[in-house]
Structure 1
Amino acid sequence: MAKSIVALVGNPRAQSRTHTVALQAAQAVADRIGDAAPVEIVDLSALAPHLLSATPSASVELSLDLVRGADVLVVASPTYKGTYTGLLKSFLDRVPTGALASTVALPLLVMGDARHALAVEVHLRPLLVELGAHVPTPGIALIESQLPDAETLLAEWAERVTPQMTGILNERLPG
């Protein structure tokens, strides 16, 4: 069975640079793990008006199911106030602790300044681990000045993370 790869984008703006980078990262991983289904994307900018509703919309529930069912989840956010966005946190707060136990998660932050580079490991990684995800590799922090070279940088990153990720996927998700 093909492995599902989902890019979760926590930018409140539609079609953002974070969206582009998340898709590039997910595709770079898909190209290297083999037997991957087409990359799917959950762009939270479209779900924002529904996330804090007492009764979530069908689109929120479908997106939650997609994220919970992912074999590989690329979680991407711009860096706001030194960490990931509140929009991403609001969405992930709807994912029960342990619900990502069968998921390999890859954190990615886009930031304006290298001073925030540790945020991917200090803030985003622990959130994904709390949800049960296996986060086998360092996340990636891309500075805005690196975005013109993002495709190359993400390909190099995917080359480094794929061996660790593939071992986990083969162990947890045979076939």
Structure 2
Amino acid sequence: MATVLALSGSPSPASRTARLAELAAADLRARGHRVHSLALRELPAEPLLAARTADPSIARAVRLVAEADALVVATPIYQAAYSGLLKVFLDLLPRHGLEGKPVLPLATGGSAAHVLALDYALRPVLTALGAQVAPGRYVLDRELGTAPDGAAFLAGDSAAALAGTVARFASALAGTAQLAAA
């Protein structure tokens, strides 16, 4: 099975985006994949912004990306674009830092007006880094909730839609399906 790194590009400590990434990660774990999570907001700001890749925390994060077989990249959408935090981190990766890696993009946002940000903002950057970008999923903030036990959940049709997206990605990781743009 694959080793998957789930990146959360949200700067918020109470992040819906991180909850979405964790839902996808839990599904992938249930399918037998090894999944590690990395919240980019936990990286030290000064070395991150100064692109000091020799900093131990930054070097470890870049190494986790390099060692992963695949990635889940989750971001909130602000002003029709992925988060600046994610952008700063992606800029630290080598030119072909995602070469051949399957990547599942996920996004959260307050309005359906930003649904195309996955394809028109995030996908080109991931592709430029060499990723094999899977069809992603955009989820409205209001569809993400937290159960009394603290577990994240998706409301309405979003749960089934995310499950289908992750299932297709998992099939591609297992070699039983091709990644293809939606």
TM-score, normalised by the number of residues in structure 1: 0.84
For residue 158 of structure 1, the aligned residue among 136, 148, 166 is 166
Q: Deviations over 1:27-55 (max 9, x none)?
A: 223333x3x22x21111111151311353
Point out 4+ residue stretches in structure 1 off by more than 3 angstroms: 150-153
Aligned residues: 165
Question: Which residue is equivalent to 1:173?
Answer: none
Q: Deviations over 1:54-83 (max 9, x none)?
A: 534211110111012211200000001101
Q: Deviations over 1:9-31 (max 9, x none)?
A: 11112241111111111222333
Q: Is the 8 A contact 2:108 2:141 kept in 1?
A: yes
Q: Identical aligned pairs, as a percentage? A: 38
For 1:98 and 1:48, locate their aligned partners in 2 and report how far apart those are by CA, in whole Å: 24
Choose 117-126 or 151-160, whichever is displaced more. 151-160
For 1:95 and 1:168, locate their aligned partners in 2 and report how far apart those are by CA, in whole Å: 29
Q: Is the 8 A contact 2:97 2:129 kept in 1?
A: yes
Q: Compare the two structures and name the one with the higher helix fraction.
A: 1
Q: Compare the two structures and name the one with the higher strand fraction.
A: 2
TM-score, normalised by the number of residues in structure 2: 0.81
For 1:77 and 1:146, locate their aligned partners in 2 and report how far apart those are by CA, in whole Å: 15
For residue 113 of structure 1, the aligned residue among 111, 114, 118 is 111
Give the 3 Å change call, closer, same or farther, for CA 111–89 of structure 1 in structure 2: same
For 1:154 and 1:54, locate their aligned partners in 2 and report how far apart those are by CA, in whole Å: 34
Question: Which residue is equivalent to 2:75?
Answer: 77
Question: Which residue is equivalent to 1:51?
Answer: 48
For 1:31 and 1:103, locate their aligned partners in 2 and report how far apart those are by CA, in whole Å: 21
For residue 140 of structure 2, the aligned residue among 133, 138, 143 is 143
Secondary structure of 2:7 counterpart: strand
Q: Is the 8 A contact 2:7 2:39 kept in 1?
A: yes
Which segments of 5 or more consecutive residues in structure 1 lack a partner in the other structure?
Answer: 171-175
Q: Is the 8 A contact 1:71 1:169 kept in 2?
A: no
Secondary structure of 2:113 counterpart: helix
Question: Which residue is equivalent to 1:126?
Answer: 124
RMSD of aligned C-alpha atoms? 2.2
For residue 90 of structure 1, the aligned residue among 88, 91, 113 is 88
Q: Deviations over 1:130-165 (max 9, x none)?
A: 111111x31111111222325544223222333334
For 2:114 and 2:72, locate their aligned partners in 1 and report how far apart those are by CA, in whole Å: 19
